[in-house]
Amino acid sequence: MAYYDDLTYKRDEIKKYLNDSIKDYDKKELKRLIKDGELHNEIFNTGYYVAYRGEGSEWLGDQAFEIIGIVREYEQDNFGEVTTDLSDDVAVTNMYVYIVGEDLINEDPRFERD
């Protein structure tokens, strides 16, 4: 079992962000993003979930070390190296949201590619 198999921290909040974000797209554009496999990148990689120092730290709360471990293991498994600055609370928060976002999109039948 990978460390990042437990993606429950603030999952409902991130799911709400996903659902709110897809409302910004008309049906045709949303369908294209899903078909092209670009929805995850568009929602979770083109902007920041949190942008300010301290905001990330507050968001991570007492789960900061666990989330750093999730980010580290995910990146090592998927990229072969850790590229996120694990001392940067904003970067860690945004990468964790990216990871959970990927999981949410992969498990949601609305986003299955044709």
Counting the structural domains of the chain, the total is: 1
* 42 closest CA partner among 89, 88, 111, 114: 111
- Which range is most confident: 19-23, 52-56, 110-114? 19-23
Owner of token pair 């709360």:
61
Q: Are 40 and 102 contacting, i.e. CB atoms less than 8 angstroms apart?
A: yes
Closest CA relative to residue 95, chosen from 55, 56, 54, 37: 56
Nearest to 105 by CA among 27, 75, 51, 97: 97
What is the number of helices (H) and of strands (E) in the chain?
6, 0
pTM score over 0.75: yes
State which residues form the domain around 48. Answer: 3-111
| The pLDDT of residue 39 | 97
Report pLDDT digits (tens) over 8-45.
999 999 999 999 999 999 999 999 999 999 999 999 99
Q: What does the DSSP 8-state code read for residue 80? A: S
